[in-house]
Amino acid sequence: MTDRYAVIGRPISHTKSPLIHGLYAEATGQDIAYGAIEGSLDHFADDVRGFRDEGGRGMNITAPFKMQAFELADSRSARATLAKASNCLKFENGKIFAENYDGIGLLRDIQSNLKTPLAGRRLLILGAGGAVRGAILPFLEAGPAQVVVVNRDVTKAQALAIEVNNPLLTVLGYDDLAGQTFDVVVNATSASLMGECPPIHGDVFKDVQLAYELAYGKGLTPFLRLARESGVKAIADGVGMLVEQAAEAFEWWRGVRPDTRPVIDRLTVPLV
């Protein structure tokens, strides 16, 4: 019997999730059907429960419903709890289980696919939104020398630091970056979605080995262009994160780990 899964978001027409999970199912021999649901802003919980009640086994969650998915769940992982958001749900025994694989997907892409281990290195994260909240625990578990979070609203980043309560996590304002050096810089702001660059100077890239843009499929964003012009040799967008977090969800649902490399290669847009 074919098991049903879906991604829910609004808007949803741009989603790559049905393609990704379809490729995973084909490669691993799993009998699943995976669709896309345009969620209702006013009736999200009804949409999820309706899909579950019709036989759905699990759902991926995308904007703007990740926080609502977290609240809807009966059981939540530590990662989802810190993020206060869920990008993946599983339905078992009448209950809804919530996970957040965004951070794990990002970490796996950086360390495994891009060959940039974070142990002992200084990491700068631009932004303090939901994606960052989901990534903080996996990043800290990788053993960095320091993780610095920079945000326009410093109090928002400080609130995150208080929740995490880890001496390796530091919060700064953009004006405090002068003279700081880093090994990896991750842009988790929404600036690139609007064709803009976060308020950073090229000097921040002085010793950087990898500049990573969470947005994907946008080509050479202003952030990545600044990094390249500042001498960073390795730049990447978030397509690998997208594919890797999907693989985490697929394994959670199906108990089989798919090979992500062919899917990353298929979806990658040249950074030019």
225 exposure class (CB count in 10 Å sphere: 0-12, 13-18, 19+): middle
Q: Coil, strand or helix: which one is 173?
A: coil
Note whether residue 37 is domain-resident. Answer: yes
Cβ contact 247:223 at 8 Å = no
Instruction: Give every CB contact of residue 131 below 8 A, 6+ residues apart in sequence.
Output: 102, 106, 188, 214
Residue 39 resides in a domain? yes
The answer, yes or no, to whether residue 236 has pLDDT greater than 90, is: yes
Q: pLDDT grade, residue 272 (50/70/90)?
A: confident
130: pLDDT strictly greater than 90: no
Q: Give the pair of three-digit tokens for residue 190.
A: 């929404």
Q: Express each pLDDT in 119-128 by its tens digit.
A: 999 999 999 8
Are 132 and 66 contained in the same domain? Answer: no
Rounded Cα distance, 212 and 106, in Å = 10
Whether 49 is covered by a domain: the verdict is yes
Question: Are 96 and 123 within one domain?
Answer: no
For residue 193, the model assigns a pLDDT of: 80
Give catalytic status of residue 66 as yes or no.
yes
- Asked if residues 151 and 127 have their Cβ atoms less than 8 Å apart, the reply is yes
For position 191, what pLDDT does the model report? 86
| CATH number assigned to the domain comprising residue 121 | 3.40.50.720
The pair of three-digit structure tokens given for residue 80, joined into one six-digit string: 């989802």
Q: How many domains is the chain built from?
A: 2
Question: Do 94 and 121 fall within a single domain?
Answer: no
Q: Are 88 and 48 in contact (CB under 8 A)?
A: no
Same domain, 169 and 95: no
If asked whether residues 159 and 190 sit together in one domain, one would say yes
Same domain? For 117 and 224 the reply is yes
Residue 24 and residue 13 share a domain: yes
Kindly state the DSSP code that residue 102 receives in the 8-state scheme: H
Tell me how far apart the alpha carbons of residues 143 and 152 are, in angstroms, rounded to a whole number.
26
Q: What is Dmax (Cα atoms) for the chain? A: 60
Q: Per the residue annotation, which of 16, 66, 115, 206 is the catalytic one?
A: 66
Residue 263 placed within a domain? no
Helices vs strands, H then E, count in the chain: 10, 12
Kindly report the pTM of this predicted structure: 0.92
Domain extent for 171: 103-239
The answer to whether residue 254 is domain-embedded is: no
